[in-house]
């Protein structure tokens, strides 16, 4: 492994971690800047794409809307693997445990836990690694009241 590959791996890990950090703090404007301008997000439940978001505007609207209902959001990033296609393209897999806390109208807190496996395609644009495509596999889901 050469110095450039080590540097690229560190930058890609930071992109994945920042995605989670910005989701937790609901900084969706910063979060979408981690995607290429024409980035794609596929939401996959039970092995099927349930919807696709294309471009930063669509991603921003959907992420902002989906997080608005939650009082608290918490991502715990796990392992990440990366394969380099060439100097400006890579693929990767990253795991997250996502906890969502919602307060119902009667004051009851509902906690949802989700196991998410992200399959990513990355592109280096103007010297910076970004997510070109993210396949978000929601593998399991638990609700606690």
H-type alpha helices, the chain: 3-24, 28-32, 56-68
Question: pTM higher than 0.85, yes or no?
Answer: yes
Grade residue 11 by pLDDT with cuts at 50, 70 and 90.
very high
Six-digit token pair at 125?
């644009």
Cα–Cα distance, 110 to 129 (Å, whole number): 36
The CATH fold assigned to 3-144 is Nuclear Transport Factor 2; Chain: A, (3.10.450)
Mean pLDDT of 86-115: 95
Contact 114, 125 (CB under 8 A): no
70-98 pLDDT per residue, tens? 999 999 999 999 999 999 999 999 999 99
Mean pLDDT of 111-120: 97
60: left (phi over 0), alpha (psi -120 to 50) or beta: alpha
Domain ranges of the chain: 3-144
Which candidate, 12, 60, 25, places its Cα nearest to that of 39? 60
Query: Is 18 strand, coil or helix?
Result: helix
Contact 97, 76 (CB under 8 A): yes
For residue 142, pLDDT beyond 90 = yes
Which pLDDT does position 105 carry in this prediction?
A: 86
20-68 pLDDT per residue, tens? 999 999 999 999 999 999 999 999 999 999 999 999 999 999 999 998 8
Which pLDDT does position 1 carry in this prediction?
A: 84
Between strands 35-45 and 128-144, the pairing is parallel
């Amino acid at each position: 492994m050469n110095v450039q590959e080590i540097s690229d791996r560190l930058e890609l890990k930071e992109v994945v971690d920042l995605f989670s950090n910005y989701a937790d703090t609901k900084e969706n404007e910063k979060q979408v800047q981690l995607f290429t301008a024409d980035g794609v997000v596929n939401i996959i439940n039970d092995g099927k794409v349930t919807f696709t978001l294309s471009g930063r505007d669509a991603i921003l609207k959907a992420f902002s809307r989906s997080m608005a209902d939650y009082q608290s959001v918490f991502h715990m990033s796990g392992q990440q693997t990366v394969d380099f296609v060439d100097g400006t393209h890579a693929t990767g897999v990253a795991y997250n445990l996502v906890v969502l806390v919602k307060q119902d109208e009667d004051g009851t807190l509902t906690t949802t836990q989700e196991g998410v496996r992200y399959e990513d395609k990355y592109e280096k644009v103007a010297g910076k690694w970004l997510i070109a495509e993210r396949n978000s596999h929601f593998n399991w889901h638990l609700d606690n009241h």
